[in-house]
Amino acid sequence: MTALLRTAALALLAAALLGGCLRVQPYQRETLAHPGMRAAQWPALQRSSQHIDEVREGSRGATGHAGGGCGCN
């Protein structure tokens, strides 16, 4: 558990640091804003599938996602 927590914290830190190096300009974001790039493609359908997994399996969690950061708005 402690090792996993340390690994997770490192992964979050590494991803955050990468964010400082990578800049996608607004005019490059057409593909990132496409519905096919959304983490939740069909939210209602995926909720049903996730519900089945949670009922049948012994573990859960970490299925969520952040908003996507595409800057489409």
Partner 1 sequence: MQLTRAVALAAALALPARAWADPQPDDGASSDRRATASLTVYSDDDHMTVTSPRAGAEARASDRVLIDVDANADIISGASIDVVSEASPSPIRETRLAAGLGATVDLSRTVSGRARALVSHESDYRSVGILLGGAWDLARRNTTVDVELAARTDRVGNSTDPTMSEPRDGETLTVSLTQAMGPMTFVDVVVDGSRDHGFLESAYRTVPIYDPLTPDTMRVSEEVPDRRLSLAGLARVRRALTRHLFVHADYRYYADNWSIGSHTVSATLVAEPLDRVRIGASGRYYRQSAADFYQARYDLVDGAAPALRTRDRRLGRMSSETANLTVDVALTGASPDDGLRLSLSAVAIRFSWPDFPAQTRRNALALTLGAVSAF
Residue 61 to residue 5: CA distance in whole angstroms: 14
**Residue owning tokens 């939210």:** 43
Q: φ and ψ at 54, to 5 degrees?
A: -65, -35
> Per CB under 8 A, does 6 bind partner 1?
no
Residue 68 to residue 44: CA distance in whole angstroms: 18
* 12-71: contacts with partner 1 (CB under 8 A): 12, 15-16, 18-20, 22-24, 28-29, 31-32, 34-37, 39, 41-42, 44-45, 47-49, 51-53, 56-71
Chain contacts with partner 1 (rule: CB under 8 A): 1, 4-5, 7-9, 11-12, 15-16, 18-20, 22-24, 28-29, 31-32, 34-37, 39, 41-42, 44-45, 47-49, 51-53, 56-71, 73
